[in-house]
C-alpha cells in the first residue's frame, strides 16, 4: 500500500461565475421604474496552502480531481448572486508547483504561504450595472465566465537541516531512529526505505531536522535505482552526512569507494539556480557499525585518508549508540552557524506587482483558409467579452460590437487587410466565428428600439438613392410607353372614323 507520495498531477477546475440578471422594477403607477437586475457571484478559487502538519501528497494521489464552487446567479431588486466557495488544498512545506510544460509557478517554502493556482470565473453584470444615460433600460445582462481549468504538477522537496546519504543498507534509517523519535522501517535488505523519513534531533540548545534519503547507487543522477526520485530531497539541506558501511560483505565495496560513488552522484545532480551546489555544502562522514570488530579495524584504517581529504570523521554505532552524541553536537554547531548567517542576510522584499493593463490588449493573426483569409482576434479582453455575451440576445451582441469597436478592433482589421464579409474568429480553436461588417457602429443612443433588440442587426429594407432613381426612371419610361400606346390608339380610331364618313 502506498503511504508516501512526493509527486502528483492535479486536475483542477475553478468555479464558474454566475450570470447577471435582467430585471425591470415595477411599482404602482410606475410600470417601468428602471432596471434592477443584480450581478452574478464570482466563482470560487482553488488555493494551495503550505501546511507544516502535512508531510505527503498521498491524498491527492488518490483524489487528483478538485474543483471550486460556482457563483450564484444575480436576481431582481439589485440582489447579487453568492460568491462560489473557494477550495483550499493543504500541501507540505517545500512543495514546488509546476505547469504541464515543467515551468515552476511557485515554491511553497514558507509555512502558511498561499497561492491561487486556479482563479475562479468572473460574475456577469446585471442590467442595472449596464445602464447609462444612453442605454437607460438594457434588455440584457452579461454571462459569468468559466473558471480556470487545467493540470498542475506538485513536487515535494523535503525541507530539512541535515540529509543522511549513503548506499542502501548503510544504516541511515537506523541512525535517524537512534538520534530522534522517528521510527522508519528497518530491515537487512537493500532499498528497505522507499521514501524519505524526517526526524527531529535535540543537540544541546539546538534543535534541527534530519532527513533519511533512500539509498543511492552508481548512476542515480542518471535515473538508476531510486536515487533520481529522491535526490531532490537533498536540495534544501544545510549539511550532508555520508553514512558509510564499514561492515559490508559485498565484494568490491569499501568505505572509500562508496564515498567516491556518492560524491560523483551528488556532483552530477544539478541544483536550481541560486542554490549552493551539493558538494560545496558542509559535509561530515559517519563510519557506521563500528560495534563489529572487523568494522572497527576498517574504520581505523580509512580514517586518516578521509581526514586528509578534509572531512570530519565520526565512528558511530546505531546499536550501541557510540559516537552519536559527538555527531549530533557537531551537526548542531553547523546548523546554528548557518542560521546565524541567514539571520544576518536581510530577507528579500516581496514585490507585489499589480499590472495596470497590457500595452497591447489584443492582436490579430491572419490565417490562410480554404475560402480566403481568416482573421483571428486574440487577447484576454476580447475572449472574456465573448464569454460574457448571450448570443441569443440581439442587444447583447450589439453591446459586444460596441466594446470591440471602442477597443480598436475594427481599425486593426482594416490594417490587417480585412474586407467586408471576411471571416473573423475570436479566441483560439473554434472560437466564435462571424462575418465582419464594418458598418456596425455604436448606436446605444437609439432608445426607440425594443429591449433585447438591436437595429443594427436587422436587415434594412430602405432603398438606396440609386435604387430610387432607377425605379423612378423605370416608372417614367412606363408612363411614356403608356401615353404612346394611347396616342396610337386615338389616331387609329380617328383614321377609321374618317374612312367611314367617305
The 10s digit of each residue's pLDDT in 37-60 is 999 999 999 999 998 888 778 889
- The reply to whether 210 sits in an annotated binding site is no
- The reply to whether 193 sits in an annotated binding site is yes
Could you state, in order of their start, the residue ranges of all structural domains in the chain? 1-156, 162-344, 363-457
Do the domains spanning 1-156 and 363-457 agree at the CATH topology level? no
Distances (CA, A) of 480 to 154, 222, 492: 88, 99, 18
What's the angle, vertex CA 201, arms to CA 199 and CA 202, rounded to 5? 155
H or E segment to which residue 245 belongs: strand 239-245
- The reply to whether 224 sits in an annotated binding site is no
The partner residues of 313 in beta bridges, in order of sequence, read 285
Three-state DSSP string of 65-114: EEECCCCCCCECCCECCCCCCCEEEEECCCEEEECCCCCEEEEECCCCCE
What's the angle, vertex CA 472, arms to CA 470 and CA 477, rounded to 5? 95
The fold adopted by the segment(s) 363-457 is GMP Synthetase; Chain A, domain 3 (3.30.300)
CB 41: neighbour CB atoms within 10 A? 28
Sign of CA dihedral 219, 222, 224, 226: positive
- The reply to whether 362 sits in an annotated binding site is no
- The reply to whether 406 sits in an annotated binding site is no
SS3 content of the chain, % helix, strand, coil (to 5): 30, 20, 50
Q: Which CATH architecture has domain 1-156?
A: Distorted Sandwich (2.70)
The partner residues of 106 in beta bridges, in order of sequence, read 97
- The reply to whether 47 sits in an annotated binding site is no
Tens-binned pLDDT, residue by residue, of the chain (502 aa)? 345 567 899 999 999 999 999 998 888 877 777 899 999 999 999 999 998 888 778 889 889 999 999 999 999 989 999 999 999 999 988 888 999 888 888 888 888 899 999 999 999 999 999 998 888 889 899 999 999 999 999 988 776 788 888 887 777 778 888 887 656 555 444 444 445 677 778 888 888 888 877 656 554 444 444 444 556 777 778 888 888 888 877 777 788 888 888 888 788 777 777 778 888 888 999 888 888 888 888 888 888 998 898 889 898 888 888 888 898 899 889 888 888 887 776 655 554 555 555 557 888 898 886 777 888 998 889 999 999 999 888 888 889 988 888 888 888 888 888 888 888 898 888 778 888 877 545 444 444 456 666 655 665 566 667 787 888 888 888 888 888 888 888 888 777 776 665 5
- The reply to whether 167 sits in an annotated binding site is yes
H or E segment to which residue 301 belongs: helix 293-308
CB 126: neighbour CB atoms within 10 A? 31
Distance CA 233, CA 226 (A): 12
Distance CA 30, CA 50 (A): 56
- The reply to whether 166 sits in an annotated binding site is yes
The fold adopted by the segment(s) 162-344 is Rossmann fold (3.40.50)
- The reply to whether 68 sits in an annotated binding site is no
Residue 36, classed as helix, strand or coil, is: coil
Strand residue runs (E) in 166-227: 197-203, 206-212
Q: Which residue has the cell 528497505?
A: 192
- The reply to whether 56 sits in an annotated binding site is no
Three-state DSSP string of 45-69: CEEEEECCCCCCCHHHHHCCEEECC
- The reply to whether 289 sits in an annotated binding site is yes
Contact present, 160 and 137 (Cβ < 8 Å): no
Distance CA 417, CA 274 (A): 48
The 10s digit of each residue's pLDDT in 185-237 is 554 444 444 456 777 788 888 888 888 776 565 544 444 444 445 567 777 78
Q: Which three cell numbers stand for residue 475?
A: 416608372
The pLDDT value given to residue 187: 43
- The reply to whether 173 sits in an annotated binding site is yes
Provide the angle, in degrees to the nearest 10, between the axes of the packed helices 380-387 and 394-407: 170
* Beta strands at 372-378 and 363-369: parallel, antiparallel or unpaired: antiparallel
Torsion angle of the four alpha carbons 306, 311, 312, 318, in this order, in degrees rounded to the nearest 10: -70
- The reply to whether 318 sits in an annotated binding site is yes
- The reply to whether 288 sits in an annotated binding site is yes
- The reply to whether 172 sits in an annotated binding site is yes
- Predicted TM-score (pTM) of the model is 0.67
- The reply to whether 213 sits in an annotated binding site is yes
- The reply to whether 291 sits in an annotated binding site is yes
Best CA proximity match to 279, nearest among 302, 309, 257: 309
Distances (CA, A) of 470 to 462, 467, 482: 14, 5, 18
The pLDDT value given to residue 73: 94
The pLDDT value given to residue 46: 95
- The reply to whether 168 sits in an annotated binding site is yes
Amino acid at each position: 500500500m502506498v503511504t508516501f507520495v512526493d509527486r502528483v498531477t492535479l486536475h483542477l477546475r475553478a468555479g464558474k461565475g454566475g450570470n447577471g440578471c435582467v430585471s425591470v422594477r415595477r411599482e404602482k403607477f410606475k410600470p417601468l421604474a428602471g432596471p434592477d437586475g443584480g450581478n452574478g457571484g464570482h466563482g470560487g478559487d482553488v488555493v494551495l496552502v503550505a501546511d507544516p502538519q502535512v508531510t505527503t501528497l498521498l491524498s491527492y494521489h488518490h483524489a487528483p480531481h478538485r474543483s471550486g464552487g460556482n457563483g450564484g446567479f444575480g436576481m431582481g431588486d439589485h440582489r447579487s448572486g453568492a460568491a462560489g466557495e473557494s477550495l483550499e488544498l493543504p500541501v507540505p512545506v517545500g512543495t514546488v508547483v509546476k505547469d504541464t510544460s515543467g515551468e515552476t509557478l511557485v515554491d511553497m517554502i514558507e509555512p502558511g504561504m498561499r497561492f491561487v493556482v486556479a482563479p475562479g470565473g468572473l460574475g456577469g453584470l446585471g442590467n442595472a450595472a449596464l445602464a447609462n444615460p444612453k442605454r437607460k433600460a438594457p434588455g440584457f445582462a452579461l454571462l459569468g465566465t468559466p473558471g480556470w481549468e487545467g493540470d498542475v504538477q506538485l513536487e515535494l522537496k523535503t525541507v530539512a537541516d541535515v540529509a543522511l546519504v549513503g548506499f542502501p543498507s548503510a544504516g541511515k534509517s537506523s541512525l535517524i531512529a537512534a538520534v530522534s523519535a522517528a521510527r522508519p522501517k528497518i530491515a537487512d535488505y537493500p532499498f528497505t526505505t522507499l521514501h524519505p523519513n524526517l526526524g527531529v534531533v535535540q543537540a544541546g540548545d539546538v534543535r534541527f531536522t534530519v532527513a533519511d534519503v533512500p539509498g543511492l547507487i552508481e548512476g542515480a543522477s542518471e535515473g538508476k535505482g531510486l536515487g533520481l526520485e529522491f535526490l531532490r530531497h537533498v536540495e534544501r539541506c544545510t549539511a550532508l552526512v555520508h553514512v558509510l558501511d564499514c561492515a559490508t560483505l559485498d565484494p568490491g565495496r569499501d568505505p572509500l569507494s562508496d564515498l567516491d560513488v556518492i560524491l560523483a552522484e551528488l556532483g552530477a545532480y544539478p541544483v536550481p539556480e541560486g542554490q549552493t551546489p551539493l558538494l560545496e555544502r558542509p559535509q561530515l562522514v559517519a563510519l557506521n557499525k563500528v560495534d563489529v570488530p572487523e568494522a572497527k579495524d576498517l574504520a581505523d584504517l580509512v580514517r586518516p585518508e578521509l581526514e586528509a581529504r578534509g572531512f570530519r570523521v565520526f565512528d558511530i554505532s546505531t546499536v550501541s549508540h557510540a559516537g552519536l552524541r559527538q555527531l549530533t553536537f557537531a551537526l548542531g554547531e553547523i546548523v546554528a552557524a548557518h542560521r546565524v548567517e541567514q539571520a544576518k542576510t536581510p530577507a528579500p522584499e516581496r514585490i507585489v506587482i499589480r499590472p495596470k493593463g497590457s500595452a497591447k490588449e489584443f492582436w490579430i493573426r491572419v490565417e490562410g483558409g480554404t475560402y480566403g483569409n481568416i482573421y483571428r482576434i486574440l487577447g484576454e479582453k476580447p475572449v472574456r467579452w465573448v464569454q460574457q455575451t448571450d448570443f441569443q440576445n440581439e442587444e447583447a451582441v450589439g453591446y459586444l460590437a460596441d466594446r470591440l469597436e471602442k477597443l480598436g478592433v475594427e481599425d486593426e482589421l482594416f490594417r490587417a487587410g480585412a474586407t467586408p464579409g471576411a471571416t473573423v474568429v475570436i479566441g483560439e480553436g473554434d472560437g466564435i466565428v462571424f462575418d465582419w461588417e464594418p458598418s456596425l457602429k455604436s448606436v446605444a443612443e437609439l432608445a426607440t428600439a425594443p429591449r433585447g433588440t438591436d437595429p443594427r442587426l436587422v436587415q434594412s429594407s430602405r432603398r438606396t438613392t440609386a435604387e430610387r432613381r432607377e425605379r423612378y426612371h423605370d416608372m417614367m419610361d412606363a408612363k411614356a410607353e403608356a401615353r404612346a400606346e394611347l396616342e396610337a390608339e386615338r389616331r387609329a380610331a380617328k383614321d377609321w372614323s374618317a374612312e367611314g364618313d367617305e
